[in-house]
Amino acid sequence: MDTKYLKYFVAVAQHGSINQAAKAMYISQPQLSHIIKSIEEAVGFDLFRRTNQGSRLTRNGENFLSHCKVILNEMDSLDQFISQTQRQGSRLVVSMTRFSHTAVCFNEVCARHQEQENLFLRLRETSTSDVIDDVANGYSEVGVLHFSVHETDTMMRNFENKHLQFIPVAKFKPYVFLSSRHALLKSGEVTELDINDLLNYGFVRYIGQYEDFFYHIATEHGLVDLNDSPKIIYVNDRMEQTRLLASTNFYTIGIAKFPYQSTTHDVANIPLKNCSEHLRFGIIMKENKKSTNIENEFIETVQKRYRALSDEVQRA
């Protein structure tokens, strides 16, 4: 059983509803139902009774909840201990949603400081909800994340409740990423792709990326849920995904051209036709946090790169 699932179980117990807990945790209701089912299969007993009023804990579920709270509290304490003992020299600890552009910014800062003594650098790539938790709980000092513009009000309330400040960076329309030799591109110059033309091809997504911001696409046909695609391929990392796209007719959704995609990986990016969706990118830190020099350097690098990317997309 994956221990990170415990916080999802606790959320359902607290809200008494899988639907309400899913909204609070920023994941889809079907995905949260799957997580709860997988926990029950792992422990070998039911944790909830499903009723018309919602999900109620069984007796075993109540005991399980008590143990989960202890474990989660200890994990938080451990993270705090690790964080405190590492506060020496130049320190940059970042959590980010999986985007090549953010990773490149982190790598640039690392390269500029590679000769420095007493250097501690850490990058964690994870989901939007985990980035928020990492920064709120002190596991990371800086978070770089994305969310749908339709979720802006909800996300701002979440940041406020967790005492986080949000620094807006840029917003983008989603693009399709696929092989330059993809069957849909053989007809010649293709400037747009209809999401419905893609649904018979395999959709590539990251394992553990539960939020739906990239998988619910608002188009002229209405809301298209890519989680319902007949072919879904789950991958662990960016390079694995890129190699798969380059060598197959699979596709994924991203924001804009990433470094060396055409020259090294032979991957093309095409705008979605009549797509009304936009994704907003920003940086989060704890409120009233006094940033270190290296943190400010990283933040400025991210802002510069994403704003330049936004300008490039607008000119195209």
| pLDDT value for 275 | 78
| pLDDT value for 207 | 74
| pLDDT value for 257 | 67
| pLDDT value for 259 | 53
| pLDDT value for 85 | 54
Q: Provide the total of helices (H) and of strands (E) in the chain, helices listed first.
A: 10, 14
| pLDDT value for 211 | 55
Residues 6+ apart with CB under 8 A from 277: 148, 149, 173, 174, 216, 217, 218, 219
Look up tokens 């200890």; give the residue. Answer: 74
| pLDDT value for 33 | 87
CA 231 and chain centroid, separation: 21
| pLDDT value for 28 | 77
Number of neighbouring beta carbons within 10 Å of residue 14:
12
| pLDDT value for 258 | 58
| pLDDT value for 221 | 66
Closest-CA residue to 31 (of 148, 151, 205, 188):
205
Distances (CA, A) of 16 to 10, 56, 68, 99: 10, 6, 16, 34
| pLDDT value for 227 | 75
Mean pLDDT by runs of 10 across the 316 residues of the chain is 82 90 80 87 89 87 91 80 59 90 94 88 89 91 90 90 94 88 84 86 78 64 76 84 90 73 70 82 93 93 92 74
Look up residue 222 and give its two tokens.
């209405």
Closest-CA residue to 40 (of 75, 21, 13, 20):
13
